[in-house]
Structure 1
Amino acid sequence: MLSHTLKYAYYPGCVAQGACRELHQSTVILSKALGIELIELKKAACCGSGTFKEDSQLLEDTVNARNISLAEELSLPLLTHCSTCQGVIGHVDEHLKECQKTNPTYVGQVNSLLQKEGCSPYRGSTEVKHLLYALAKDYGLEEIQKRVSRKLAGLKCAAFYGCYLLRAQKFMLYDDPFQPETMENLFRAVGATPIYYRGRTQCCGWPIASYATSESFKMAGKHIQEAIEAGADCMVTPCPLCHLNLDSRQPEVEKVIGRKLSLPVLHLPQLVALAIGISPKELGLERHIVSTRPVLEKLGL
């Protein structure tokens, strides 16, 4: 077992507390079962999903500098479980750390705005880390493997990383941004079989869904079809926005592409939690639009 307790400042994000409540639910349950302590940042604001900078880079940096400073107040890493939140907040953190060296006046401007709102200044003293890497790198794949009580043998899982997780930050410390393996290695650790297909590192289409809906759904449909053709029993994603386009909107996607898909899409913590013996009901698997029953039947649940 781990020689110390892992502890994070938990940034749940908006979607995991709204449209994808099962993600928040499964993250909290999994963390508790593994002995990981989460301190929820209840005062945190929406990261903006990359839209704030369309109006003002200063706005995006200031809002997310505040989010980071909340974690810094606790002297803890900021933990995300959304590829988009990770990409946006992680990018801001990298940008401001770089500015501390090259443009300290800009960081001073950000901190001046924070001070006016009674917020702590951004210090650049912590890191922003996604749950995927907290599990694989901090907790460790070997330790997770030891906790498996329900081996997912025979379950073929297709990872869908989400583009923000892989390529929004300059310095990818944990994975190759074009040929990642962390999710696949995690699948192996819990006894599942990883499925490789072309779309696993591409965009799900969510960012254009509001103004190019048909194209967005075609993108999602293409990825789902590729995963099915590669033999996947399910998709697994570390991003609730990807989950919305791939699961919640899958019936609409089917209409646009003229093909039945019916591929279950799991949140990353749900898969790991299933492997360590947590019940499907506790993980909110009944909340999904595409039924997860085929996955559960394959696992004898």
Structure 2
Amino acid sequence: MPSQTLKYAYFPGCVAQGACRELYQSTAALTQALGIELIELKKASCCGSGTFKEDSRLLEDTVNARNIALAEELDLPLLTHCSTCQGVIGHVDERLKDFQQTDPGYVEQINGLLKKEGCSPYKGNSEVKHLLWALVTDYGLDAIQERVTRKLSGLKCAAFYGCYLLRGQTTIPYDNPFHPESMENVFRSVGATPVYYRGRTQCCGWPIASYATEQSFQMAGKNIQEAIDAGADCMVTPCPLCHLNLDSRQPEVEKVIERKLGLPVLHLPQLVALALGIPPKQLGLSKHIVSTKPVLEKLGL
């Protein structure tokens, strides 16, 4: 285990508190099992999932400067388990830190708006970090491996990184945005076998689902088919929005691509928590649209 208790200002995001409640549930179970302390930012607001900037960059920056400032008040890094939130908030943080040097007037404008609402100013002294990065870089894969009580031997897992985690920010210091390995390394640490396929770094189709539904489902279907054809028992994603298109919409996707799929899609904390011996019920594995029973049966659960 890490030499000291890891503590984060926790930004769960909207989807994990609504349509993907099992992500919220499994993140709590996993972090408690690992001894990671999460202080939830109850006053935080939606990051906008990339849509605010379509109307106003100032709106996106101000809303998320406030979210970051809430973490700064606690003198803690902001932790999220949503790749979309990571990409949006992380990019705002990256941009504003740059503007503190190149355009301080813009940051002052944002802090002026925050002050009017009685909010703390954005200082740029915190960090925005996805749960995946926290597990890999802060807790450590060796430490996770030491905590494994139920090795996921024989389970073939296809990572689905999605767009925002890898390409939402200008730079990410934790992985290669074009040839990532962090998810696969997590799989190995819990005894599972990584499955590689082209779609693992592609878009799930969710961003265009509201206005180009058929094209969105074709994108999702192509990714799922590639994972199945590569021999995957399940797909694992660090993004609840990806999960919505890949799991919740999978029956509709099947109709569009005219092929039966039936590939279980797990949230990252669900997979790791299974290896720590946490019961499937506690992880919300019965709440998925595509049944996770084949995964549990393969693990003898």
Same fold (TM over 0.5): yes
| Equivalent position of 2:23 in the other structure | 23
Q: Which amino acid aligns with 2:94?
A: E
Shift of 1:17: 0.2
Post-superposition Cα deviations, 1:61-108, rounded to whole Å, max 9, x if no partner, equal: 000000000000000000010010000000000000000000000000
Secondary structure, counterpart of 2:281 in structure 1: coil
Shift of 1:171: 1.4
Q: Which amino acid aligns with 1:271?
A: L
| Equivalent position of 2:42 in the other structure | 42
Q: How does 1:143-162 map to 2 (within 5 A)?
A: 143-162=143-162
Shift of 1:169: 0.4
Q: Which amino acid aligns with 2:259?
A: R
2:176 is equivalent to residue 176 of structure 1: yes
| Equivalent position of 1:294 in the other structure | 294
Shift of 1:296: 0.1
Structure 1 distance, partners of 2:133, 2:104, is: 30
| Equivalent position of 1:126 in the other structure | 126
Structure 2 runs not aligned, ≥5 long: none
What is the count of residue pairs matched by the alignment?
301
Secondary structure, counterpart of 2:263 in structure 1: coil
Shift of 1:172: 1.1
Secondary structure, counterpart of 2:286 in structure 1: helix
Structure 1 distance, partners of 2:236, 2:136, is: 15
Structure 2 distance, partners of 1:64, 1:92, is: 7
2:203 is equivalent to residue 203 of structure 1: yes
Q: Which amino acid aligns with 1:203?
A: C
Structure 2 distance, partners of 1:17, 1:77, is: 21
2:63 is equivalent to residue 63 of structure 1: yes
Structure 2 distance, partners of 1:179, 1:82, is: 20
Secondary structure, counterpart of 2:282 in structure 1: coil
Identity %, equivalent residues: 81
2:89 is equivalent to residue 89 of structure 1: yes
Shift of 1:162: 1.1
List, as ranges, runs of 4+ consecutive aligned residues in structure 1 with deviation greater than 4 Å: none
| Equivalent position of 1:214 in the other structure | 214
Q: Which amino acid aligns with 2:285?
A: L
Q: Which amino acid aligns with 2:229?
A: E
Shift of 1:173: 0.6
Structure 1 distance, partners of 2:210, 2:290, is: 22
TM-score (norm 2): 1.00
Post-superposition Cα deviations, 1:132-189, rounded to whole Å, max 9, x if no partner, equal: 0100110000000000000000000000001000001011110100100000000000
Shift of 1:2: 1.9
Shift of 1:3: 1.2
| Equivalent position of 2:249 in the other structure | 249
Post-superposition Cα deviations, 1:2-41, rounded to whole Å, max 9, x if no partner, equal: 2100000000000000000000000011000000000000
Structure 2 distance, partners of 1:192, 1:16, is: 25
Q: Which amino acid aligns with 2:255?
A: K
Q: Which amino acid aligns with 2:58?
A: L
Structure 1 distance, partners of 2:226, 2:144, is: 29
Structure 1 runs not aligned, ≥5 long: none
Q: Which amino acid aligns with 2:112?
A: S
